[in-house]
Amino acid sequence: MTAPARVLVIGAGPAGLAAGVRLLERARGRVTVTLAHQGHHLGGKAASYTDAAGRRLEHGWHMMLGFYERLFGLMDRAGASRARAVMSMFGKSHAFEPAVGKVFTLDSTGGRVATAFNFARYEGIPLDDRAHYSRFMSQVYGRILGGEELTQHDDVCFTRWAIEQGLRPHLTRYSLFRLFRDGYFNFPEQVSAYHVLQTMKLMSTSEGAEAFAAVGPYSERVWAPIGRYFESLGGVVEPYVMVRALGYDGRRVTKLHVARPAGSGHDDGASSWKAARLPVEPGTERELGGFDAVIAAIPQAVFVTLNEGDPRMWRSPYVARMTNLRSVATMSMTVRTRDPVLPYVGPVHGLPAPLGIAVNMTRYLDRYRSGEERGHDVQLVGQEAGFESWSDDAVASFALDQLARVPGGDLRAATITYLELHRNRADFERIFVCEPGVQRFRPGPLTPFDNLFVAGDWVKNDVDLVCMEGAVCSGYDAADQLLARLPDLGGRSEARAP
């Protein structure tokens, strides 16, 4: 009789949680699963939580979309259903057109045809350009929904691709066009045409395009219930474990070199660090073994720091190509005001970098809707590339100045009562960039090591987008690949079990 295979999942973001749950749901006692992560809260890059002092710690505004079927299904099974945890933004998003100083609304309600033709009702560009843009978008949707292989467009940026397909070049300057790049990728540089087209495909219906915001901190409303569900299935969660290197023998990973992150006993946890490499508590370095297989559900920026200086591992084409992938540091700013501000349902796009998206969260958060807290809550998000040398004060002042150009967006005039800026520079907080040509370098879940699998939104999967649904999909893929190879992972005999 063979004892259950011992699986270690590294990372407690959407990919790691999904992988751990999938293993226990499908293995039927054939595996035991330990989920090790470096913080004290769950959610990875999608975490937000309340600390022991009652302070909300938000490291960016996170949006869920209607096509997140895997994530919503996982939430339902964990008792954190969509109805309890999130609130719809009613199919509304907005684009600020600086040339005219106005905000124009995009409505994603309606069927597939209506989704494409909604652009014809956008009043932020002249009528003739609007008609041209609507025809162009209708043709694009026709190709997407007609089954065209989209990965062939990965080597070119979306702006160039659109112009090559007949879009008038000057239309790329409008916020309406930039919305696809900035809004869905949080990245104001050029994004692979494949990833934009894949986004449009997944959001081609009103159901798929519907946006949701969590009504409270994500870690508490979404990820903690999933963590408790994982534990109810028999999983074990081990916090404050930071992986520093892999130990391997031939084609098998035999141990992990780990340590406890410095400062992990504090309320704000590891997310407070601004440096890329996190310090460790002296004397906590150790070797972690006793597993049959590992799923590394960690960001690409973290994975490529493992085993630095180990030529044997990094000569592998599979591992070496990961260095061609790029990640960027995200930024976010939370501003609370005394008086009403930014009167729009859903996010406002079109602001200049570094904080290009703003959303008034007051109508969505339970503490405001219940009357527990007074005031108004605006969150801005973006990424740091090109603004690394700017001070926090300079970034905040610039963002407030730019948002003041938006009708109803003058936060200073609404009396600011609280302002906090986050620069998420640590490797584990950086986001993967879907720039042109990236697909050829993205790995699949299988690695050259027989018992090591990788997961995350940077790993190829059926969603392929940098989002929570892509991470969950990748976690499921890694778990399924592991289970398919379970007989070869070296399960122990019951007689030899320690």
Q: Kindly state the average pLDDT of the residues 113-135.
A: 80
How many Å apart are CA 167 and CA 154, to the nearest integer? 18
Please state the rounded mean pLDDT for residues 97-104: 92
Inform me whether the pLDDT recorded for 338 exceeds 50.
yes
pLDDT tens digits, 165-192: 999 999 999 988 887 666 555 565 688 9
Q: Are 97 and 175 in contact (CB under 8 A)?
A: yes
pLDDT band for 409, please (50, 70, 90 cuts).
very high
Contacts of 335 (CB under 8 A, 6+ apart): 377, 378, 379, 380, 400, 411, 416, 418, 419
Banded model confidence at residue 373, pLDDT cuts 50, 70, 90:
confident
pLDDT at 83 over 50: yes
Check residue 91 and give its pLDDT: 79
Determine the pLDDT at residue 2. 77
* Mean pLDDT of the residues in the chain: 88
User: Which residues contact residue 135 at a Cβ distance below 8 angstroms, ignoring those fewer than 6 apart?
Assistant: none
Question: Tell me, what's the pLDDT at 393?
Answer: 97
Interval 106-132 mean pLDDT: 75
Residue 81: partners with Cβ closer than 8 Å, 6 or more residues away: 75
Which whole-number Å values give the CA distances from 46 to 217, 219, 273, 352, 466, in the listed order? 10, 8, 16, 23, 12
How does residue 96 score in pLDDT terms, banded at 50, 70 and 90? very high
User: What is the band of 494 on the pLDDT scale with cuts at 50, 70, 90?
Assistant: very low
Mean pLDDT of 422-443: 91
Tokens linked to 104: 């124009």
| Domain boundaries 330-424, corresponding CATH code | 3.90.660.10
> Does 321 or 8 have the greater pLDDT score?
8
| More reliable by pLDDT, 266 or 329 | 329
Q: What is the pLDDT of residue 235?
A: 97
Q: What digits encode the pLDDT tens for the residues 14-48? A: 999 999 999 999 998 899 999 999 988 899 988 88
Please state the domain extents for the chain. 5-57+218-326+435-496, 106-209, 330-424
Residue-level pLDDT at 84: 86
Please say if the pLDDT value at position 408 is more than 80: yes
Give the DSSP letter string of 394-448.
Answer: HHHHHHHHHHHTSTT--TTTT-EEEEEEEEE-SGGG-EE---TTGGGG---SB-S
Cα(352)–Cα(358) distance, rounded to whole angstroms?
11
254 has a pLDDT exceeding 60: yes
Q: What is the pLDDT of residue 487?
A: 84
**Pairing state of beta strands 31-36 and 236-238?**
parallel
DSSP letter assigned to residue 54: S
pLDDT at 107 over 90: no
**Which class for 298: exposed (0-12), middle (13-18), buried (19 or more C-beta within 10 A)?**
buried
* pLDDT (0 to 100) of residue 497: 26
For residues 322-343, average pLDDT:
93
pLDDT value for 267: 40
What proportion of the chain, given as a percentage, has pLDDT over 90? Answer: 62
CA distance 198 to 200: 5
Look-up of token digits 């999608």: 46
Burial 38-59 (b: 16+ CB within 10 A, else e): bbbbbbbbbbbbbeeeeebbbb
Amino acid at 148: E
350: left (phi over 0), alpha (psi -120 to 50) or beta: left
Provide the greatest CA pair distance for the chain: 78
CATH of 5-57+218-326+435-496, one of 3.40.47.10, 3.30.70.240, 3.50.50.60, 3.40.640.10: 3.50.50.60
- Residue 488, pLDDT score: 79
Give the whole-angstrom CA distance, residue 428 versus residue 405.
34
Tally: H helices and E strands in the chain: 18, 22
